[in-house]
Amino acid sequence: MTKERKKHLIRNIYSLLSLMIAFFSAVWLWYWNVGVGWDKGYFGVRTLVTVGLMYCLLYFALSKMYKANKIGAYHLVELAFSQMLSFGLTDVALYGAGFFWFHNFDRIQTSLFILAFFVQVFVIILLTFFMNRLHAKFDEPHRVAIIYGDDSYWLLREKMKSFPYRYKILGCFSQYEERSEFENVLEQCQDIYLYEVDTELREAIASLNI
């Protein structure tokens, strides 16, 4: 299996697990909010499945809108925030559905919704972190260069070397070298790390005027 197919599989698994979290949390919320009214027909497997599926449908739409499942395309913090928005808004919609079902808020246990949201966020962040790291192992390492103004740059270099699947260091250059010495290398880089360099060089790099 090629790396691209492995990454595609990881993204699909992540999306599926996210939907499973959404489904079971919705079922759990509805179960415990209507459990006291079983004798009135509020509870039933068909009802729980319907609520779970409707919750998943709304969550899926929101996660698509906020790009919450774009593993490998966005940073972990961005993914976590998008997931929080997706779950949070879907929980609010379920809370509102509970009101229309019972015609009042007295039967709805608000504390359970708050607890469920924090559990959802905790689980989805753990899942996102794990799947994001797994996805990164099949990415082509980023071509990078380090331009330094202090000899302690080797700490950064060694840290990058400990993640060979993430970084491919094309070169390390002192800011005092002639720019012609590293111009060709920088053109091949995807990222340039500036370590303790002076303001003039930093502005030149930022404006690509080197």
d(CA 194, CA 66): 32
Q: Which long-range contacts (CB under 8 A, 24 or more apart) does 168-172 make?
A: 168/141, 168/142, 168/143, 168/144, 169/144, 169/145, 170/143, 170/144, 170/145, 171/145, 171/146, 172/145, 172/146, 172/147, 172/148
**pLDDT tens digits along 10-55:** 999 999 999 999 999 999 888 887 655 555 555 577 788 888 999 9
Q: Which two tokens stand for residue 191?
A: 């990222």
Q: How far is Cα of residue 1 from the mean position of the Cα atoms in its chain?
A: 25
Give the CA angle between residues 14, 133, 6 to the nearest 5°. 60
Residue 136 banded pLDDT, cuts 50, 70, 90 = confident
The pLDDT tens digits for 65-93 are 998 988 877 888 899 999 999 999 999 99
Q: What is the DSSP letter of 151?
A: G
Please tell me the predicted confidence (pLDDT) of residue 128.
93
Decide if 86 contacts 63 (C-beta within 8 A). yes
The predicted structure's pLDDT at residue 43: 57
Q: Provide the whole-model pTM.
A: 0.69
Helices (H), 35-139: 45-65, 76-102, 110-136
| Residue 73 pLDDT | 76
Where are the chain's structural domains? 3-136, 142-206
pLDDT of res. 153: 86
Q: Which long-range contacts (CB under 8 A, 24 or more apart) does 104-112 make?
A: 107/33, 107/34, 107/36, 107/37, 108/33, 109/32, 109/33, 112/29, 112/32, 112/33
Residue 62 pLDDT class (50, 70, 90 cuts): very high
